[in-house]
């Protein structure tokens, strides 16, 4: 229960509070970009229930919010990374082998892979993309 409360506080309540504060200052035509997870859509790894459930909530929050703020021209999208080489999930870590094996590309992604998708969604070329869950997971959910 403590772990679930922690995940709700960070991943759900944190996204809600930050978004609520940002919307008070955001101009029409702005961009809201959530960082979810591919396990918020499809979970294949035991032990991730609290994390996965809250990332699923981020997915639905993004979709619903897109309809709430769409009349202001604000887009809301959710980027769903898969195995990405970070300090918390290193490509050479304890869980690396099964995560790499679960991808179609048999490798971890980089933070640059995620950043490229975020930059695209934040740009003018993505002005008609909203309420989307965009997965950058090397084919983990394929």
Residues noted as catalytic: 51
Q: 55 with 6: CB under 8 angstroms? A: no
Scan for tokens 């195995």, then name that residue: 83
Which of 98, 112, 110, 111 shows the shortest CA–CA distance to 140?
Answer: 98
Phi, psi angles (nearest 5°) of residue 78: -120, 120
């Amino acid at each position: 229960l403590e772990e679930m409360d922690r995940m709700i506080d960070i991943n759900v309540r944190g996204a809600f509070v930050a978004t609520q504060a940002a919307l008070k200052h955001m101009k029409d035509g702005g961009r809201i970009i959530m960082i979810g997870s591919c396990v918020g859509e499809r979970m294949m790894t035991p032990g991730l229930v609290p994390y996965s459930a809250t990332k699923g909530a981020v997915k639905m929050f993004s979709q619903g919010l897109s309809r709430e703020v769409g009349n202001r021209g604000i887009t809301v999208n959710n980027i769903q990374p898969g195995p990405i080489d970070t300090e918390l999930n290193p490509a050479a870590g304890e869980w690396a082998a099964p995560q790499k094996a679960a991808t179609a590309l048999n490798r971890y992604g980089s933070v640059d892979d995620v950043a490229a998708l975020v930059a695209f969604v934040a740009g003018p070329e993505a002005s008609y993309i909203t309420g989307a869950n965009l997965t950058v997971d090397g084919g983990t959910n394929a």
